[in-house]
A and B are shown apart, each in its own frame.
Chain A
Amino acid sequence: MTLLLKQLFAFLRMLNSDTGTNQLASGLSLGLLLGFAPFLSLQTLLVLLIVFFFRVQLGAAFLSAFFFKFIAFLFDPLADKLGQWVLEIPSLRPLFTQMYNMPLVPLTRFNNSIVMGSMIVSLILLVPSYFVFKMLIVKYRATVVARFRETKIWKTISATKFYNWYLTYEKLYL
């Protein structure tokens, strides 16, 4: 829990800084993939490994996964229909039969209509979402953060010694 909170604070800090745009955007878009995938599945494990071992912002990934889990739940009826339609395409049947009977692939649970529908949607959205998130982060920094820094309250706070001490602490330990 502490680790998770630490990652969430790191996400907020990074979001309000000028660095890590790619890490944040990739974290958010991989979180989308996590949100749409079932918890116990091979693809969840793979995304978690990517998130852990590559420099992707963990807080962003978890926050995004939490948010998109709800979206995926609301999207279930449509995903079910889409998955059924794909899984029942006769020309794809030999491919699915092959996949169903080969090692590891069935662990993705692709043969379930909702999993298949959600997987298709999340894969389609993965790359565009990366660029959309990146653009939103840049815009957020340019508008919200920059404006906030111009406010009197922020200027007052940033002029205090307490804030300077915090900056020193942050540079040393965080």
Chain B
Amino acid sequence: MADEIKTPKKIKVRTGMIRWEAIVPVTIILLLIGIYMTLFFDANMRSLGQWGLSKVNKAEVNIGSLETSFRKLSFRLQGLEFTDRVSPERNLFQIGDIRFDMSWDAILRAKVFIEEAGVEGIKYGQLRKKPGYVLPVEPEKEDGPSLFSASAVKDKALNKLESDYSDNVFGDIAAMLQGGTSADQIKGLEDQIQAKQMIAKFQKDVEQKKLDWDQRIKALPQAAYFEDVRKRSASIKTSNFSNPQEALQNIQAADKLIKEVDAKVKDIQKTSSDAQLDFKNLDQTVKDIDQQVKADIKDLEKHFKIPKIDAKAFVMAMVSGYIAPYKSEIDKYYKMAYKYAPPNLVNKSGKDEEGYKIQPRARAEGISYEFGRQNSYPLLWVRKIKISSDLGKDPQNGNIAGQISDLTTSQILTGKPTKATLAGDFPAQQLYGFATELTFDNRTPENTLVDLVADLKSYPIANKQILKNKDVDISLLKSQGGLHAQASFVNFRDIKFAVASNFSKLETQVNSPNEVLKSIVGNVFRSLDVITADIKGDGRLPAINLSLNSNLGEALESGFRKELEARIAELRKKIETQVNETIARERQKVEAEVAKLKAQVEGEIKKIQAMADKEIKANQEKVNVAKKDTENKAQDAVKKEGQKAVDDLKKKLGF
């Protein structure tokens, strides 16, 4: 078998430096790539774009066609449609054509430069051929913070006005206009007066205190004790001591008595200071009762829905209903921007807002230096994007034109801020005088500024419900609106904006089950030619301080004031009287008891203190007298001894 194996022919192997045999497979691979790029790349990019944009929009996004050319470095996208999530049978907006060519010169330098891009055929709210699918709503926490959520309002004091004036002002007015509140109605609410319960509890506390203080005063030294002290004191001699030993014993006995009484005095003083503290607490409770009375009056005012006749309350009631749908839209885009904004622009950790700094890139990415020079390409530079929507082709298009200039990654290199302007009319929608100018200036990165000015001279309002609840229904049947808005956004945190709106050629409809309310509101609207509404805001996101002003609020205020002022004053007086009457007797009683207790305790302590002081004083005097007497006697003895010595000496000397 082994013999059958023939020695194989030697195959000549090329051993030169170049691998010539690799040329064919590499060429085949390149050809395959070329075929893929020509035949399938655009289709795959279109599918990928639709999928990605649908995820962002959370509703179907369609791309009509997508064409790219490697040779020309061109891109063209047609028929881009974003489904409206709220009404999927319509598009949120659509763009007919987006096209641009990149420069080979810049691409070879690893930069992107687009001389001119076009965005044409922009339409809003168009009917779709078939309703777009809407992706299921994700849990809210994944979307980022909300500008208008209850927690944002509460925690960040956003829209403080809203939280201050969220009561149903028209409902309260309607209730007030329906009829007066009788004293019996108020009387029926006596149990709700918390001050009354507070006084009852206080009375019990005072009773208990009385018992406690009786016991404490009884524990103090009484008259019998001081009588005993007096007797013990009387037995102490202060003179005529037979010898110094006797004097010393009496003085020591007097000192001991003084110390004993002194210890009792300290007890009395402690009791006195405790009593003062207790009386202070009782006084504070009396003050708390006064505060509770005021709070009870306010609660009852709320119970009887005494309305705020305040311009701001009216404006807030009107505006809240009017802007509610827009708030959800703004919130949707705020959340979207928050989710996709790079972390160096948005503090997603939610911590340390004050000390938040622009975050550096991750270490693994290193630092990319830009060695730019004047007139060189930045990493991305789109010199001009022309935006237009030609009225001639489709009446729904609108007649708008605008452009975005100098969109770039480095404004320092281009030396120009990015500007976007858009102006025009949408005659089909009767929107006239639309103009907006947006400036993004990042030439000094530590002071980034976004500035926006927008105008809409005239837009129609038809059948717009301003306010609807069980008490009142206010609608604008027809009106002409106008808007001017100005906003500036510094370092993506500090915002300042002002929106001035006006509504003219008013046709309103007011309905209410309460005829008086209907008449007053109707008259106010009829008396106004133009309604103005100015909204101003400033602050650091998301804490924005809002202020609202409208001539409608003032007009409603003066309209209702005439009608309601007297009724409100009358009801307030009734409530105050009822509350005061309910608690007056108990309050006087408890105050008298506190005063009596104070007088009794203070009097007793004072009396005992006086007796103790008297005894101490008497004994102290005794000690002093005894000491004096002993001293005198000692001096006399010394004198006598001296005289005797002198006399003896004289005798001895024979004088």
Contact = CB atoms under 8 A, between A and B. Distances in A.
B22 A100 contact: no
Contacts, number: 89
Contacts of A115: 366
Q: Which of B364, B367, B368, B377 has the most CB of A within 10 A?
A: B367
B324 interface: no
B382 to A, nearest CB: 19
Nearest to A171: B8
B447 to A, nearest CB: 25
Q: Which of B5, B18, B364, B371 has the most CB of A within 10 A?
A: B371
B291 interface: no
Counting contact residues on chain A (CB < 8 A from B), the size range is: 35 or more
Contacts of A80: 363, 366-367
Given A102-B109, A106-B109, A171-B8, A112 B366 contact: yes
B19 A54 contact: yes
Contacts of A104: 108-109
Contacts of A102: 109
Interface string A100-113: 11111011010111
Interface string A19-47: 00000000000000000000000000000
A84 interface: yes
A161 interface: yes
A100 to B, nearest CB: 4
Contacts of A101: 109, 371-373, 376-377
A98 to B, nearest CB: 8
A32 to B, nearest CB: 20
B16 interface: yes
B111 to A, nearest CB: 7
Counting contact residues on chain B (CB < 8 A from A), the size range is: 20 to 34
Given A52-B22, A161-B2, A168 B363 contact: no
Q: Which of A77, A100, A102, A171 has the most CB of B within 10 A?
A: A100
Interface in B83-127: 105, 108-111
A106 B8 CA distance: 53
Contact of B18 (A55, A103, A111, A117): A55
Contact of B365 (A96, A107, A114): A114
Contact of A103 (B109, B372, B373, B376): B109
B205 to A, nearest CB: 71
Contact of A106 (B15, B111, B365): B111
B367 A112 contact: yes
Nearest to B9: A172
Nearest to A87: B369
Contact of B110 (A88, A109, A113, A161): A109
Contact of A84 (B15, B16, B367): B367
B19 to A, nearest CB: 5
Contacts of B18: 53-55
B19 A168 contact: no
B142 interface: no
B363 A77 contact: yes
B323 interface: no
A112 B364 CA distance: 11
A4 to B, nearest CB: 13
Contact of B372 (A83, A100, A107): A100
Contact of B366 (A99, A100, A113): A113
B17 interface: yes
A100 B17 contact: no
Contacts of B363: 76-77, 80
B26 interface: yes
B370 interface: yes
Interface in B363-393: 363-373, 376-377
B8 A172 contact: yes
Given A109-B110, A168-B5, A52 B26 contact: yes
Interface in A99-158: 99-104, 106-107, 109, 111-115, 117
A16 interface: no
A137 to B, nearest CB: 18
Contact of B17 (A55, A97, A171): A55
Nearest to A80: B366
A98 B373 CA distance: 9
A111 B108 contact: no
A164 interface: yes
A142 to B, nearest CB: 23
A161 B1 CA distance: 10
Contact of B373 (A53, A87, A97): A97
Contacts of B26: 52-53
A80 B365 CA distance: 9
B364 to A, nearest CB: 6
B371 A55 contact: no
Contacts of B17: 54-55
B376 to A, nearest CB: 5
B108 A103 contact: yes
B369 A107 contact: no
A62 to B, nearest CB: 14
Nearest to B364: A76
A104 to B, nearest CB: 6
Contacts of B371: 93, 96-97, 99-101, 111
B369 A111 contact: yes
A164 B369 contact: no
Given A54-B17, A54-B18, A106-B110, A111 B5 contact: no
Contact of B19 (A52, A76, A88, A100): A52
A93 B18 CA distance: 38
Contact of B15 (A55, A113, A117): A55
Nearest to B368: A112
Q: Which of B5, B105, B369 has the most CB of A within 10 A?
A: B369
16 contacts: A53-B18, A53-B22, A54-B17, A54-B18, A55-B19, A80-B367, A83-B367, A97-B373, A101-B372, A103-B109, A111-B370, A112-B366, A112-B367, A112-B368, A113-B368, A172-B11
Interface of B: 1-2, 5, 8, 11, 15-19, 22-23, 26, 105, 108-111, 363-373, 376-377
Given A53-B22, A76-B364, A168-B5, 15 more contacts: A52-B22, A55-B15, A76-B363, A77-B363, A83-B367, A96-B369, A96-B371, A101-B376, A102-B109, A103-B105, A103-B108, A111-B368, A113-B366, A161-B1, A172-B11
5 cross-chain pairs, A with B, having the tightest CB-CB distances, nearest first = A114-B366, A100-B371, A106-B110, A103-B108, A113-B366
